[in-house]
Structure 1
């Protein structure tokens, strides 16, 4: 993705037919951009945990996810 936006993330989730059995991690800058886009769209309200279409969106804390890339994790143990 060129830039992680709310619309781009929704499209990614739908196109890849993701379910709540996965979570998405994003580079901290991409995560911040997405959160700001989400807040602008939803009147400065955000749910915890942060989800889009039922998929939890997490900030990468390992330094392994490049900016503007999406990492899909298996969330079911």
Structure 2
């Protein structure tokens, strides 16, 4: 399975035409990897909540999301 990167996240969001009605949950290792890519790209600055292209990115704390897999959740607004 291919490692999830910042570019892969952007492509996934665009390819699936995701909107702000969803959020994406990632395994903690994948989340950390994406955050590190984001920090490198944005000069060690990160916004809270953490979003990519307007989609909130969350760290899975349930243990249900495998490494390098995306879990798309309905966002509650």
Give the shorter-chain TM-score range: over 0.9
Segments of 5+ residues of structure 1 without an aligned counterpart are none
> What residue in structure 1 maps to residue 38 of structure 2?
38
- Structure 2 length normalisation: TM-score? 0.97
Stretches of 4+ aligned residues off by more than 4 angstroms: none
Task: Give distance in 1, aligned partners of 2:65 and 2:40.
Answer: 25
Aligned length: 77
Task: Give distance in 2, aligned partners of 1:2 and 1:71.
Answer: 15
> What residue in structure 1 maps to residue 19 of structure 2?
19
Segments of 5+ residues of structure 2 without an aligned counterpart are none
Per-residue CA deviations over 1:22-75 (Å, capped at 9, x if unaligned) read 000000000000000000000000000000000000000000000000000011
1:3-14 map, 5 Å: 3-14=3-14
- Structure 1 length normalisation: TM-score? 0.97
RMSD: 1.0
> What residue in structure 2 maps to residue 50 of structure 1?
50
Q: CA deviation at 1:76?
A: 3.3
Task: Give distance in 1, aligned partners of 2:37 and 2:74.
Answer: 25
